[in-house]
Chain A
């Protein structure tokens, strides 16, 4: 009986495979069509827009073709230079701080004394709360007269008078960075914690028998095992840092003196405040290209399709 069914199954294999291909199309088709509509089409549209001097005036969008002029303007635009510097500084500092703090947090929570699940829930909270609510909260924490940050630092004797935390351009950029580091570290910590838990315990036992110190075990077992996870963390965090918007919009609106205008914010402002859609699209495409290159590296590291 079982044998009969098995031969029948084998004989019908080719036909079945063809039918399966058709079914797969039904299963996949709607999702792929939706993604094409929401991602592929806008990207192509955005490339075309960036080649025009698209402007919105009196509710009508005019799109005269101007070739690569928008991209040429990028090189001479002072606002772009400022935003590029801010973005570079913001991204480098945030990625370094988040990955380092994330690693330290993951190592701490992987310690036998820190296995209580409450710690992990605590880690999830900054990640889960809405970026806007978070920004509003920090606006209150940073308040120059009544903010709790000034109060705490005064009580501890670390400052003599209240500080205006968002008052000068570079200071404001750093204070925005601080909030974003606080919000982003948990995700990277959870990622690295998962990777830490995949390292076989037997490696550490063997190392201890061989007389290795804790530092040796960290240097020669933990770090090499985390290499891929750390690379993934760096790439993901870079992509996310490039996307920072909500926090800047609520905390500083790009000010003071454009000190917190990053590329993403500049593209938004040029497009939706100045209504220069073509130039805005060119700026957006620059961010897109950077993210795309990064995600290619990420995809290489993930090697999807290869089962672990």
Chain B
């Protein structure tokens, strides 16, 4: 009786979580005629890959947007790790005056509503001629990615055994050498987890991209939004465009599920 209840709840859960995404993928491979039949015509001849080819042919800006998104997401992630990893290490393991205050500020920085920094940053970027450049997005995205990276990595560094540095120092290694040759090599999994978070956040970001780009530096979310506005009655193509934008993230998420599950739940709960 009780296990029947659990099974029923699981069915409801699976349906609620998966049905919309399943419908996204299913409509992306159905012909327009099948989609505007009520109920949708799911016979074998309705299936097609034409929506995908049509999206890539009709939307030249989508190709450019994918290239832009890749460049922006990868570079902002790399910068966040490069700046964030040493900072996280210092906060976790070195004598830093007011480390607690700095940490609280990093934590609060993750909560900043984008709108409050977007207005001044837009004005500054306009004055510097950075509007509609990838460099601008790469820097602006550090405003949320750097705090995330510092937070996730600090949690990991704090948990390392206390004797590590002492042993290295007895062998005459400097702090920088210890960090580079002892700490970094054993930190690859959390570095990877932090990078994945940063990449997903940058890939999905819409608000700053909407304000700070026009044509040249347009990213995928903007291209999808523009496409959906332009072709809002061509449902199959609209879903194909959406599927293209979520595919890399879905694949990453499934491949790295354990890293993500462990990384973010722990990071948000423990100080």
Interface residues of A (CB under 8 A from B): 5, 9, 16-17, 19-21, 23-24, 26-28, 30-32, 34-35, 38-39, 41-43, 45-46, 49, 61, 105, 108-109, 111, 113-114, 117, 119-126, 128-133, 135-141, 143, 145-146, 148, 151, 154-155, 182, 186-187, 190-191, 193-195, 228-229, 232, 236, 239, 242-243, 245-246, 249-250, 264, 267-268, 271-272, 277, 280-281, 283-285, 287-288, 291-292, 294-296, 298-299, 302-308
Contact = CB atoms under 8 A, between A and B. Distances in A.
29 contacts: A5-B170, A21-B96, A23-B94, A24-B90, A27-B89, A35-B109, A38-B140, A42-B119, A46-B117, A108-B9, A113-B10, A117-B258, A125-B21, A125-B253, A128-B253, A131-B221, A133-B224, A136-B241, A154-B38, A190-B264, A246-B207, A264-B113, A267-B115, A271-B115, A292-B111, A294-B111, A298-B111, A304-B103, A305-B99
Contact of A136 (B89, B99, B238): B238
Q: Which of A45, A105, A307 has the most CB of B within 10 A?
A: A45
A267 B73 CA distance: 27
B141 to A, nearest CB: 9
Contacts of B105: 35
A229 to B, nearest CB: 6
B7 interface: yes
B142 A34 contact: yes
Contact of B116 (A129, A285, A306): A285
Contact of A246 (B113, B175, B206): B206
A281 B120 CA distance: 9
A262 B40 CA distance: 35
A117 B40 contact: no
Given A137-B24, A281-B116, A291-B113, 17 more contacts: A5-B170, A31-B150, A42-B116, A46-B116, A113-B10, A117-B257, A129-B250, A130-B245, A136-B224, A137-B242, A146-B38, A194-B265, A271-B115, A281-B120, A292-B111, A298-B107, A299-B108
Q: Which 10 A-B pairs have the closest CB atoms?
A: A304-B271, A194-B265, A31-B87, A45-B120, A27-B90, A42-B117, A42-B120, A27-B86, A295-B111, A130-B204
Interface residues of B, number: 109
Q: Which of B27, B250, B269 has the most CB of A within 10 A?
A: B269
Contacts of A228: 269
A114 B10 contact: yes
Interface in B222-253: 222, 224-225, 228, 232, 235, 238-239, 241-243, 245-246, 249-250, 252-253
Given A141-B23, A249-B225, A302 B207 contact: no
A129 B246 contact: yes
Contact of B269 (A182, A186, A232): A232
Contacts of A246: 206-207, 221
A302 B107 contact: yes
Nearest to B228: A136
Contacts of A308: 270-271
Interface stretch (B12-20, B54-62, B187-195): B12-20
Contacts of B139: 38
Main secondary structure of the interface of B (DSSP, over half): helix
B95 A20 contact: yes
A182 B246 CA distance: 17
A120 B38 CA distance: 34
Given A130-B204, A132-B224, A121 B257 contact: yes
B238 A140 contact: yes
B135 interface: no
Given A42-B121, A126-B17, A34 B6 contact: no
B20 A38 contact: no
Contacts of B103: 304-305
B100 A305 contact: yes
B35 interface: yes
B224 A239 contact: no
A283 B116 CA distance: 9
A284 B116 contact: yes
Contacts of A30: 83, 86-87
Contacts of A41: 120
A182 B103 CA distance: 32
Nearest to A296: B108
B67 interface: no
B86 A284 contact: no
A123 B143 contact: no
B197 to A, nearest CB: 11
A35 B266 contact: no
A111 B2 CA distance: 12
A125 B139 CA distance: 28
Interface in B97-138: 97, 99-100, 102-109, 111-124, 126
A292 B142 CA distance: 20
A43 B116 contact: yes
B18 A304 contact: no
A245 B211 CA distance: 13
Nearest to B174: A23
B238 A302 contact: no
Contacts of B96: 21, 24, 28
